[in-house]
Chains A and B, each alone.
Chain A
Amino acid sequence: MDTELSNTLDTIANEEGVQGVLVVDKAGLCLGVRGNASKFFAPFVASIASSAVNIQQMDDESKIEYPTITVEFNDKKIVVRPQETCTVAVFV
């Protein structure tokens, strides 16, 4: 059941420049992790994602937009992309 997710994580992790990948569900629990990403980051990635999604008018739930969030450190960057059911964080 999780073969497709596992293969997708492997594909992303093997891309040039990618140091790690983390997939998190809406409850802040880790669904999959590769590279130097840690499962212990999962609740914080979910929290960042849900906070960003909430910064918009929610008149019609079918028109919710999912923004891309970038967290920049001195020597690395984390790109967080929430979706309807899960959030993907790529460590570059």
Chain B
Amino acid sequence: MQPSFYSTCQPYFLQGLKAALLTDRDGVVVLKAQSQDCHEKLFDPLLVTNFSISNDQANKLGLLRNQAIVSMFDMYQLIQLDQSPLVLTLIAEADSNTGLWIHLSRQLKGQTDPLVKAMQGGQDTVEDQIIGC
């Protein structure tokens, strides 16, 4: 899945995409695609853990499940999708095409859905075993 994840992101590096990450809620990287000029500081787990907290709060707004949060900063923009138990993060230049990243995030979500569903199935099995004890 890593090669297809990278090949989907690669055409967008020239349009301002810096990195795309699929991580767990604590920021541990599962899949990664990064441009050649991407700074290593962008892979700080803090970006994902902050999103996890914000996402949990957003789920309490009474609008059902929060799907994504777009954050605009001076240096970069972040598009983060909740794919519980995983998080998809796109990091791009601040003045780049946000709509394009939302489109890309949907593409990557489709690619990573089988992995997410497999992990959800694994979680359910563990929980069933615990309840059965």
Question: A residues bordering B, Cβ < 8 Å?
Answer: 24, 27-30, 40, 42-44, 46-47, 50
Cα of A59 to Cα of B98 in the assembled complex, Å: 27
Least CB separation from B106: chain A residue:
A40
Least CB separation from A30: chain B residue:
B99
Decide if the interface of chain A is mainly helix, strand, loop or mixed. Answer: helix
Least CB separation from B15: chain A residue:
A47
Question: B residues bordering A, Cβ < 8 Å?
Answer: 15, 97-100, 102-103
Least CB separation from B77: chain A residue:
A27
Chain B residues in 8 Å Cβ range of A46 = 97, 99-100
| 6 more CB-based (< 8 A) A-B contacts, given A30-B99, A50-B97 | A24-B99, A27-B98, A27-B99, A28-B98, A46-B99, A47-B100
- Shortest CB-to-CB span from A22 to chain B, Å, is 11
Which of A28, A29, A44, A47 has the most chain B CB atoms inside 10 A of its CB?
Answer: A28
Chain A residues in 8 Å Cβ range of B102 = 43
Cα of A47 to Cα of B103 in the assembled complex, Å: 13
Chain B residues in 8 Å Cβ range of A50 = 97
